[in-house]
Structure 1
Amino acid sequence: MADITFNIALGKVASLAALTGGANDALIMVPLEATGLVADSVMRDYDTLSDLLAGASNEQATIGRKTLTGVTVNVNDTDNRIDLDADAVTWTAPTGNPVGALVICYDPDTTSGTDADLIPLTKHGITWTPDGNNFTLNIADFFRANSAA
């Protein structure tokens, strides 16, 4: 589950996730280095990935970004919520600086977009030091939206 939902994405996460699978859009997972991560209260105010990376937080670029596959948006009538899920993500022989967070962004155009086009949706805290061993991150309900009533 997400630690925070970016202010720009409140109310949008499920609808943007449902759009993926089109010709050129996707959800992209961006790893951030553990060192220099800004507080959630600061991070949630960034409106683009470009804004986020212009601050104190740095992308852990050695392991690379991952495109989420198998994204599903499920209406859960029993628990009165919407659950978003995706396939597991695997990094093969990853190395580099420790990772402190993963940010899932919506990329409206994977063919020609820039970081200024990526909308940060959710941030997930993680403690991981890439050590050359394959690493698989199982994703279960990376986001839930429910009614307050």
Structure 2
Amino acid sequence: FSSYSTSWVEHARTFVAGAVERLGLGPDAFVVEVASNDGYLLKHVVDRGIRCLGIEPSVNVGATARDAGVPTLTEFLTPETGSAVRAEHGPADLVVANNVYAHIPDVVGFTEGLRALVADDGWVSIEVQHLLTLIEENQYDTIYHEHFQY
């Protein structure tokens, strides 16, 4: 549950504030977060009155997000999922994928899913680990055996 980390929740709040300002996101915008966990990031989008959707494959974690008022679809992102979400909700102005690529066995399919979600003039924000930062800041606790790649 990402919300257990107050520093991570603050990082998400700062990210959302910056994205709203830089991209001019308002009530007519649509934001999607993939691997949205318990809604730690999208709750800041909801608080701003911006339409959003989380895509989270973990049933219990996605339920926690929904209980917190964050619309969440319990699915893995595939090209088909991305297309279905776009058909139902419209294209996303911003798609966020934070620290999820290491968990994905099918990077190409996942990336095609991101493309299916985002508007032609929309933005995709991808956050991944950076080796130099990992070493310099001793972030070895972020290395998990279930990661497929770095």
Normalising by structure 1, we get a TM-score of 0.26
More strand by share: 1
Normalized per residue, the structure richer in helix is 2
Superposition TM-score, scaled by structure 2 size? 0.26
